[in-house]
């Protein structure tokens, strides 16, 4: 599928850049699993980035219409301007050349100030985006992966424990699962955006197969959860 043929706006171009980045991150996870399965530590970091990037891409593209998507794109530019301004200032204070960062911050500040972006609705956080999609349960994997991203003692202990035995497929489940969802979030958002071709374009592609598999798993999890709820309710009444 030639995704670039669907780029007609600034927000679509931004989403395309995110999709290409997500694809590289996921490719790195699979390469690690194939070539160096014991080198697990980078995998949750890459998968977390792909997961969050996919959610951002989906949020950007899932506005009610093109005007809303354009507004969300401007919000992302405003966030980027703030970060670049902060980095530029810190580099300058440290005596490190910061012209490139400062110039880009000024450009984005000018762009967003003209549109009155400051004070607009912010980008939702990860948990909020997952809730809006009915997928809050995926937040647990995100929290686990965040331990590796932030270098917490929990990640250090997990890594030390795993070094005593070879890594297995079980340890790789979380980065694999997050990677798949990252791609799906981005791809579904792109295909379902205002004026997009729809999810039918996924049919017959590896991504479509992954989507179908996840739908089956989701249905099984929901059925299992409902059964568990009924059982717990029965136990409660019996007691």
- What confidence tens digit (pLDDT) does each residue in 9-59 have? 889 889 889 988 998 999 999 898 888 888 888 999 999 999 999 999 999
Alpha-carbon gap, residue 204 to 170, rounded angstroms: 28
What is the pTM (predicted TM-score) of this model?
0.78
Alpha-carbon gap, residue 40 to 42, rounded angstroms: 6
Main-chain phi, psi angles of 124, to 5 degrees: -65, 155
* CA-wise closest residue to 179 among 49, 33, 36: 49
For residue range 83-117, what is the model confidence (pLDDT) as tens digits?
899 999 999 999 999 898 899 889 888 888 766 66
How does residue 219 score in pLDDT terms, banded at 50, 70 and 90? Answer: low
Beta carbons of 42 and 32 less than 8 angstroms apart: yes
* CA-wise closest residue to 80 among 142, 150, 72: 72
How does residue 228 score in pLDDT terms, banded at 50, 70 and 90? Answer: low
Q: Give mean pLDDT, residues 135-142.
A: 92
């Amino acid at each position: 599928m030639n995704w670039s043929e669907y780029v007609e706006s600034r927000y679509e171009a931004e989403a395309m850049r995110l999709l290409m980045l997500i694809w590289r991150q996921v490719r790195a996870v699979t390469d690690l699993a194939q070539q160096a399965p014991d080198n697990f530590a980078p995998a949750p970091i890459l998968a977390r980035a792909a997961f969050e990037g996919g959610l951002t891409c989906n949020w950007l593209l899932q506005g009610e219409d093109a005007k809303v998507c354009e507004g969300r794109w401007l919000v992302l530019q405003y966030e980027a301007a703030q970060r670049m301004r902060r980095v530029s200032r810190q580099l300058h204070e440290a005596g490190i050349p910061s012209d490139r960062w400062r110039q880009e911050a000024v450009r984005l500040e000018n762009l967003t100030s003209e549109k009155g972006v400051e004070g607009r609705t912010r980008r939702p956080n990860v948990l909020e985006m997952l809730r809006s999609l009915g997928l809050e349960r995926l937040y647990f994997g995100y929290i686990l992966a965040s331990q590796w991203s932030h270098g917490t003692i929990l990640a250090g202990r997990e890594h030390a424990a795993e070094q005593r035995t070879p890594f297995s497929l079980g340890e790789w489940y979380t980065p694999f699962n997050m990677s798949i969802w990252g791609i799906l979030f981005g791809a579904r958002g792109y295909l379902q955006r205002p004026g997009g071709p729809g999810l039918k374009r996924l049919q017959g592609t590896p991504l479509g197969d992954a989507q179908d598999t996840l739908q089956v798993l989701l249905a099984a999890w929901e059925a299992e959860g409902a059964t568990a709820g009924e059982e717990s309710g029965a136990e409660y009444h019996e007691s």
